[in-house]
Amino acid sequence: MNQNHGPTCNGQKEYWSDPKTHEKYKEIISTTPQRKGIWVADLHQHEGFWWSAYSLKGVLWARDHFMPQPNNVILSSAPKSGTTWLKALSFAVMTRSHFDEPASPLLTRLAHDCVPFLESEVRSNPQNLDLDVPLLATHIPYTSLPKSIIDSGCKIVYICRDPKDVFVSLWHFVSKMNPKAMDASALEDLHLEDAFEFFCQGYSSFGPYWDHVLGYWRASLESPEKVLFLKYEDLKNDTISWVKKLAQFMGYPFSSEEEQKGMVQKIVNLCSFENLSSLEVNKSGITQVGTNFLSLKNSSFFRKGEVGDWKNHLKLEMAMRLDQITEQKLKGSGLTFHFSSNA
Ligand SMILES: Nc1ncnc2c1ncn2[C@@H]1O[C@H](COP(=O)(O)OS(=O)(=O)O)[C@@H](OP(=O)(O)O)[C@H]1O
């Protein structure tokens, strides 16, 4: 296994086993405003965003120690915006020359086990891959990213999604994560209305959602060569074109020969919701993923994978309220979501 993402992994390991560093961050975190939100534990406010204690520790560590390699591509997103899909697509694009034969690791590993989060606990290398894939992921908002990333030449790909679908996806996910509610039948443990209120007020992990999106949106306008801004809905609507743009941006463009041979379509098919969610590893596997210590069912990352599922969960007035917040927050930014609440 040679997955060398630079000092991240080694440094991270030291951090997690060094009690002094651990104490230092614990102390900082203890001074932050704290409150309840959409999560199994309390959220902490730091630099205008809400974090779980675990992810805040991760970002503090990353800010002090993380040094990207110049060829790193950072995949960024707020939770439930399309992270798993973006990881799979980017990984498949970058490794396509290695994994035409034998089959792609994505067939036997969760996408999160192929692309680690830069701020999360370093896990043992489950990939067992024989190549160096310079991909890292993060949920860290743009303005809180380690300076080393901003100053580096490495590229960032950001994916966002209609906040209504993000909320619905998050509600399902968090409800299943509740230790008392490890199966979908216990959704009542987190009332939709309570979770909705938290989300609207920005009290969700890495929230407020809109501020997360706006940070990367502005960065993509300022430095389009460094930040590629994607929308889940666009990717759904025309996956082929966006995967080509993604590949071009990351520095792995498809040759015309590859295009003629159907390589883009092959990657799109490999990473489709239908394909990934039907794989044994994603149906029955368990992983420790993201910015927390919880063991999660791989299947929890694959629910419906649709645009507009909010219609099955949100009352019209809830949808309208979210749309109003979105409109208000994004006003003047040039960013819009073309998904009206009564569509
Ligand atoms: N391959 C693929 N294609 C399309 N959509 C997909 C795919 N994989 C996961 N999903 C859907 O993405 C939602 C999960 O979001 P994230 O991957 O960002 O979650 S996480 O932040 O990594 O926890 C979640 O959305 P919902 O179905 O609406 O809940 C997943 O079903």
Ligand 1 centroid vs 305 CA: distance in angstroms?
Answer: 6
Ligand 1 centroid vs 78 CA: distance in angstroms?
Answer: 11
The answer to whether residue 314 sits within a structural domain is no
The residues annotated with a catalytic role in the active site are: 139
Query: What is the residue range of 141's domain?
Result: 49-162+207-303
Tell me which residue has its CA closest to atom 10 in ligand 1: 305
Which pLDDT does position 311 carry in this prediction?
96
Q: Considering the entire predicted model, what is its pTM?
A: 0.92
Cβ pair 227, 218 in contact under 8 A: no
pLDDT single digits (tens) 303-331:
999 999 999 999 999 999 999 999 999 99
Tell me which residue has its CA closest to atom 9 in ligand 1: 302
The answer to whether residue 222 sits within a structural domain is yes
The answer to whether residue 238 sits within a structural domain is yes
Partners of 75 in the beta sheet?
Answer: 137, 157
Pocket of ligand 1 from Cβ distances under 6 Å: 77, 79-85, 88, 165, 169, 172, 271-273, 276, 290, 301-305, 309
- Closest-CA residue to 170 (of 131, 132, 212): 212
Mean pLDDT by 10 residues, the chain (343 residues): 37 61 90 88 92 90 89 97 98 89 86 88 49 90 96 95 97 74 48 94 96 98 97 97 98 97 96 98 81 74 97 96 97 85 48
Tell me which residue has its CA closest to atom 1 in ligand 1: 273
> Domains in the chain: how many in total?
1
CA distance 24 to 18: 10
CA distance 339 to 159: 16
Residue type, 209: Y
The answer to whether residue 324 sits within a structural domain is no
Ligand 1 centroid vs 14 CA: distance in angstroms?
Answer: 31
CA distance 253 to 206: 32
Cβ pair 7, 164 in contact under 8 A: no
Domain of 138, CATH number, reads 3.40.50.300
**Residue 41: CB partners within 8 Å, gap ≥ 6?**
52, 53
pLDDT single digits (tens) 165-204:
999 999 999 887 755 444 444 444 678 999 999 999 999 9
The answer to whether residue 289 sits within a structural domain is yes
Which pLDDT does position 148 carry in this prediction?
94
The answer to whether residue 66 sits within a structural domain is yes
The answer to whether residue 193 sits within a structural domain is no
Give the residue, out of 87, 301, 339, with the most ligand 1 atoms within 8 A of its beta carbon, to mutate for a pocket test. 301
The answer to whether residue 339 sits within a structural domain is no
Atom of ligand 1 nearest to the CA of 276: 1
Ligand 1 centroid vs 85 CA: distance in angstroms?
Answer: 6
